[in-house]
Amino acid sequence: MKKLEAIVRPHLMDAVKNALQEVGVVGMTVTEVKGFGRQKGHTETYRGSEYKVEFLPKVKIEVALPDELVDQAVEAVLKTAATGKFGDGKVFVSSLEEVVRIRTGERGDAAL
Amino acid sequence: MHRQETIDRSSVRPDRVAALESRQERLDRFRRFLKLETERLRMRHRMGLGGVEIAAGRSDQVDALLEELCLEISVEGGEAAGGALPPWAVVALGGYGRRDLAPHSDVDLLFLHPGGGSAELKPFVERTLQVLWDVGLTVGHSFRSPRECVAEARRDLHSRTALIDARLVTGNAALFHALSRQLDSDLHASRRATDGFVESMKVELRQRWEKFGGAVCLLEPNVKEGPGGLRDLHAMLWVGHARWGTRGLAGLKAEGWLGEREFSSARRASGFLSRVRNEAHFTGGRRTDLLTLDVQGDLARNLGYVPRGGLLASELLMREYYRRASELHECCRAFMRVHLKAPRRQFPGLSVRRRPRKGFEVRGGELTLRSGGSALHGGPGAVMDAFRIAQEEGVPLSEDLKSAIRVRTRLIGRGFRASREATGAFLRLVQRRGRVAPALRAMHETGVLACLVPEWARITFLVQHDFFHKYTVDEHTLKAVEALDEVAAGQDPALAPLGRLFDELPDVLPVYLGMLLHDIGKGRGGGHVVRGVAIARRIAGRLRLAPETAEKILFLVGAHLEMSQVSQHRDLTEASLIDAFAARMGSLERLNALLLLTYADHRGVGPGIWNEWKATLLWELYSRTRPRLAGGEPREDDGDASARERAFGELRSEAPGEEVEGYLAGLPERYFRATDAAGVVRHFRLLRGRGARPFACEWRDLGDGRGTELALTAEDRPGLFAALAGTLTASGVDILSVDLFTRADGVALDTFHVAELPGHRPVAPGRCARIESALAEAVAGRVDVGRSVERWRSRAPRRARRHWGRTARPATVRFDQEASAVSTVVEVKAPDEPGLAYRIASTLAELGLDITFARVATAKALALDVFYVRGGDGSKLAPPAMREVEEALLAALGSRPRVRAHG
């Protein structure tokens, strides 16, 4: 099992979600997050007073997957979340030791 | 309910065969009894028996069970101990003591012992409790002597309130009387203990209201603990008992502490709330006092509500709930205010009566009718006077005044709405920035708002079925207006950027009325925005609003969701999207108003809904859209690459890569935000062309009569900006705006947007050479710029003033220590006039301050100048220095020109 975390632009969240569902992902967790990458945020001026935008708003999508779905899922995120500009985000994939469905106590792939 | 019947039924006890009966058999017997009785009660409840009666019936059931159980166990206990037990009594506390027990509520019990010999009673208490637990009752218990009870009541507020309602269930009556006597003599008769109790009651009340949502109109209210819940009633009863020894609502009324109207509304409310609570317990099969959205439907159905007039059964139930709970809450608050006046303190100004106005006066921090006042008899105008005066004085209306208005409003009715007097007064109330919400809330509470705007009644107490909202539509709307007030008041530095939008609005009426009406279309099926616009149009007509004002309001109602939707769901880097959004906004005023409304709308939904994440996206959309609407030179599209990258691409062909890179690296980040790629390229060429000369500049006609751009570079030094601005002014050139940057290596790069003073035309090309040499002289420090400016001023006394402000507003100075990491930001707002920039800059220079960045801008005859400054030692300004700067600036701007040495 793998865990996929995708940091994407807020406005592309729906597109990414739909693409993941098409691949066969059944559940996900979505969080409003802020952060920066190589672009290091930027500074805005508004009537002369500058306000710093050190952390840019993004959406984090977390998905737990069986191993065989990972490649397709990553592909789905890449296809939908890329604009080619700075700040498109990242996908992190890590291995997942255990999943337990709280209601039934099922474990492993059965709990995904 | 027939108490005796219940008791009798419990006595259809299997003949006292305790000895032969096993423990399990006894348990089954009591379980059966409780189950049967509960079912009987449930049927009576469903048949419509009142909430108070059901709660009393439940209490009687438990009484009967306890009587029988304690009798049996005490007899066994006595036998086992080989004699009679010491005297004991079982006492009901709290709600159970008042015979007010909801079906699954906790049963609070006190096992009373005489003091000595409590050990002998312990097994009896334990066995009794065991059975009670096993039959499924939730029991809260204590085991104390009368003396211990008094000590505990002194220590703990909740123990004291529980003991107020103590009632003997079974056991030794003399022992119980001993408890009552000791409570009365040691506690209730003590003046000091009573004062302390009442004070902590007040604190507790406020904390409880706060803890349970702070408003009656929560979508998921707590029928017991929330504001307007049954606890509000209990608090009144407890205070009544502590202060005057009264018992029950009837006692308060009989002694004259509660008026006839308050009494009946409190009684009605408590009956209704109890009934809803009983239903919640029966439906849930457990103690549930929280009326969550998912159970409201079942409750409504079981209580016999049917959908009507486009509203769901649950909406009708909750509407009644909010009405009753509001009545009870108001009643409780008024009761506490009237009867719990803080002990008089010597606060001059608080107790002093202020000058009476139009039959009203401010007394004790509230607006009241003057004694024997007939102020309200003058028709709608007089009613509206009350709100106006309260708003002007910044005080709330007293409860008495509110009730008087409620009665008047009902009498005046339709005529009220139609009267020009009332609508005119209403519109004036809604224009007073920073003070609108209290007025609207008072009008809401007195029914005047629903009278003036009948559509308001539709959204009053209206539940919203969604995941985010916490309040009913009316409460949400009022909370949102409060959020607007908070921005307008400008007290919170975190809201300062929004406050500046407020300052830019020419008229605050549209944003306030738009806020009030933004959800007016709710409660009529889907599409509340479209419906809302139609309704708002009707309301605007009735209020006789000017067509332009009405259009602004309708725009806000129609667009009130758009800004947050676009900011969260669209690609903000796409120029075409920003173009479309700017076109939809149409004007800067609308954009400003919509951002304010969007912010306040979020704040009104509930705590935590407005957050940094949403704020960043909204400001991103705002700052990208603003330049399209603000006039001036439209910024080039960033396109895919930033100005920095595009300039780099262009310059690489004309200079070595490292030189270009070094040049770009030395410029502050905000430079690239304010400058397009073409500008970056021009500046590079200018700087490169300057070579070793101390100064270079470039003139550029902006076309279309928009004036001239003067880009200029020189080695930075203290007072440089003042010297440049002064020279331009002395040359008869008006400065419209400036962007001033200092590179890391100390080279200043300034862009002036200028025009000829007379006629406001672009600077004539023929004059450029002369001005340029004057600038070079000034940069070199070879002329006294201050004197040149004075000479110019004396020659051209005020004749060239560009516009006269409508009213000459005094200059203001504001500091911001947060906006920049290394500099203090000084914001100066002043009526615009030629030479203003010079005057500010020279004042700052005289104080030895270093200007690292400046932006001078003009809007509507008002200049907003922003300077990033550092002290001589390169650090931010300390508070004393800020005061000095403020005084010097105000002196320089407030008084007429005075001769000052140039720094």
**Backbone phi, psi, residue B764, to 5°:** -65, 130
Q: Looking at residue B515, what is its pLDDT? A: 97
Best mutation target among B565, B567, B673 (most A Cβ atoms within 10 Å) is B673
More confident residue, A45 or B178: B178
Span between the terminal Cα atoms of chain B, in Å: 93
- Least CB-CB distance to A45: which of B568, B612, B670? B670
Do the domain assignments include residue B445? no
- Sequence-distant (≥ 6) Cβ neighbours of residue B540 within 8 angstroms: B549, B550, B553, B554
B73: domain CATH number is 3.30.460.10
Instruction: Find the closest chain A residue to B740 by CA distance.
Output: A48
Distance (Å, rounded) from C-alpha B657 to C-alpha B683? Answer: 16
Q: Looking at residue B634, what is its pLDDT? A: 45
CB contact under 8 A, A49 and B827: yes
Q: Chain A neighbours among B 584-613 (CB < 8 Å)?
A: 611-613
Q: Looking at residue A69, what is its pLDDT? A: 92
CB contact under 8 A, B857 and A47: yes
Same domain as B181, residue B256: no
Do the domain assignments include residue B437? no
Distance (Å, rounded) from C-alpha B564 to C-alpha B660? Answer: 40
Q: Looking at residue A28, what is its pLDDT? A: 93
Residue B897 corresponds to which tokens in the numbers above?
């020109």
Is A105 touching B (CB cutoff 8 A)?
A: no
Helix (H, G, I), strand (E, B) or coil at B733: strand
CB contact under 8 A, A47 and B855: yes
Is B576 touching A (CB cutoff 8 A)?
A: no
Q: Contact B115/B145 with Cβ under 8 angstroms?
A: yes
Bridge pairing between strands B139-144 and B107-112: parallel
Point out the domain boundary residue: B580, B604, B629: B629
Is B627 touching A (CB cutoff 8 A)?
A: no
Distance (Å, rounded) from C-alpha B232 to C-alpha B428? Answer: 36
CB contact under 8 A, A46 and B623: yes
Same domain as B516, residue B475: yes
Residue B593 corresponds to which tokens in the numbers above?
């108003």
CB contact under 8 A, A83 and B571: yes
- Least CB-CB distance to B568: which of A11, A50, A55? A11
Same domain as B225, residue B158: no
Distance from CA of B613 to the nearest CA of A (A): 6
- Sequence-distant (≥ 6) Cβ neighbours of residue B187 within 8 angstroms: B150, B153, B154, B160, B193
CB contact under 8 A, B616 and A55: yes
Q: Chain A neighbours among B 824-853 (CB < 8 Å)?
A: 825, 827
Contacts of A42 in chain B (CB under 8 A): 669, 673
Q: Looking at residue B799, what is its pLDDT? A: 43
By C-alpha distance, which of B180, B174, B179 is closest to B86? B174
- Least CB-CB distance to A10: which of B500, B617, B674? B617
Do the domain assignments include residue B356? no
By C-alpha distance, which of B92, B338, B325, B336 is closest to B201? B336
Bridge pairing between strands B360-363 and B862-870: unpaired
Neighbours of B83 (CB within 10 A): 8
Q: Sheet holding A2-8: strands in order across?
A: A29-35, A56-65, A2-8, A90-95
Contacts of A48 in chain B (CB under 8 A): 827, 854-855, 857, 864-866
Q: Chain B neighbours among A 2-41 (CB < 8 Å)?
A: 9-12, 14, 32-34
Instruction: Find the closest chain A residue to B827 by CA distance.
Output: A49
| DSSP at B179 | H
Does the pLDDT of residue A45 top 50, yes or no? no
Distance (Å, rounded) from C-alpha B504 to C-alpha B194? Answer: 55
Distance (Å, rounded) from C-alpha B863 to C-alpha B492? Answer: 23
CB contact under 8 A, B497 and A11: no
Q: Looking at residue B186, what is its pLDDT? A: 83
- Least CB-CB distance to B640: which of A33, A53, A85? A85
Same domain as B165, residue B244: no
Q: Looking at residue A10, what is its pLDDT? A: 92
Q: Looking at residue A51, what is its pLDDT? A: 46
By C-alpha distance, which of B114, B173, B134 is closest to B30? B134
Q: Chain A neighbours among B 797-826 (CB < 8 Å)?
A: 816, 819-820, 825
By C-alpha distance, which of B187, B154, B170 is closest to B60? B170
Same domain as B497, residue B584: yes
Same domain as B890, residue B808: yes
Same domain as B27, residue B129: yes
Best mutation target among A8, A9, A11 (most B Cβ atoms within 10 Å) is A11
- Sequence-distant (≥ 6) Cβ neighbours of residue A36 within 8 angstroms: A54, A55, A56
Q: Chain A neighbours among B 495-524 (CB < 8 Å)?
A: 497, 500
CATH number of the structural domain A2-111:
3.30.70.120
Do the domain assignments include residue B412? no
- Least CB-CB distance to B497: which of A34, A46, A55? A46
Domain ranges (residues) in chain A? 2-111
- Sequence-distant (≥ 6) Cβ neighbours of residue B19 within 8 angstroms: none
Q: Averaged over A40-61, what is the pLDDT?
A: 61
CB contact under 8 A, B827 and A14: no
Distance (Å, rounded) from C-alpha B265 to C-alpha B388? Answer: 29
Same domain as B736, residue B618: no
Task: Please name the residue that has the structure tokens 């009237």.
Answer: B338
CB contact under 8 A, A14 and B611: no
Torsion of CA B720, B724, B727, B733, to 10 degrees: -160
Distance (Å, rounded) from C-alpha B651 to C-alpha B660? Answer: 7
**Backbone phi, psi, residue B735, to 5°:** -95, 115
Distance (Å, rounded) from C-alpha B216 to C-alpha B461? Answer: 10
By C-alpha distance, which of B101, B105, B102, B109 is closest to B69? B109
Instruction: Find the closest chain B residue to A81 by CA distance.
Output: B571
Distance (Å, rounded) from C-alpha B747 to C-alpha B745? Answer: 6
Distance from CA of B641 to the nearest CA of A (A): 8
CB contact under 8 A, A55 and B497: no
Do the domain assignments include residue B771? yes
Same domain as B220, residue B125: no
Distance from CA of A108 to the nearest CA of B (A): 31
Distance from CA of A15 to the nearest CA of B (A): 10
Point out the domain boundary residue: B153, B171, B189: B189
Best mutation target among A13, A16, A38, A46 (most B Cβ atoms within 10 Å) is A46
Do the domain assignments include residue B215? yes
Q: Contact B74/B85 with Cβ under 8 angstroms?
A: yes
Q: Looking at residue B10, what is its pLDDT? A: 58
Distance from CA of A86 to the nearest CA of B (A): 9
| DSSP at B610 | S
Q: Tally the domains of chain B.
A: 4
CB contact under 8 A, A51 and B673: no
Same domain as B483, residue B591: yes
Point out the domain boundary residue: B167, B189, B211: B189
Best mutation target among B568, B581, B856 (most A Cβ atoms within 10 Å) is B568
Output the furthest CA–CA distance in chain A (Å, rounded).
58
Helix (H, G, I), strand (E, B) or coil at A4: strand
CB contact under 8 A, A48 and B864: yes
Residue B104 corresponds to which tokens in the numbers above?
């699954």
Domain, as residue range, for B146: 3-189
Q: Side chain identity at B702, as an amino acid letter?
A: L
Distance from CA of A8 to the nearest CA of B (A): 12
Question: Rounded to whole angstroms, what are the CA distances from B739 to A49, B690, B736?
Answer: 12, 20, 11
The ipTM value here is 0.71
Same domain as B583, residue B514: yes
B330: domain CATH number is 1.20.120.330
Best mutation target among A45, A58, A86 (most B Cβ atoms within 10 Å) is A45
Low-confidence ranges of chain B (pLDDT < 50): 12, 14-15, 17, 343-352, 632-640, 799-807, 895-903
User: Number of CB pairs < 8 Å for A and B?
Assistant: 75
| DSSP at B290 | B
Distance from CA of A10 to the nearest CA of B (A): 6
Q: Looking at residue A93, what is its pLDDT? A: 96
CB contact under 8 A, B670 and A51: no
What is the DSSP code string of A9-78?
-GGGHHHHHHHHHHHT----EEEEEEE--TT--EEEEETTEEEEE-SEEEEEEEEEE-GGGHHHHHHHHH
Q: Looking at residue B353, what is its pLDDT? A: 52
Same domain as B579, residue B470: yes
CB contact under 8 A, B619 and A51: yes
CA atoms within 13 A on the CB side of B564: 17
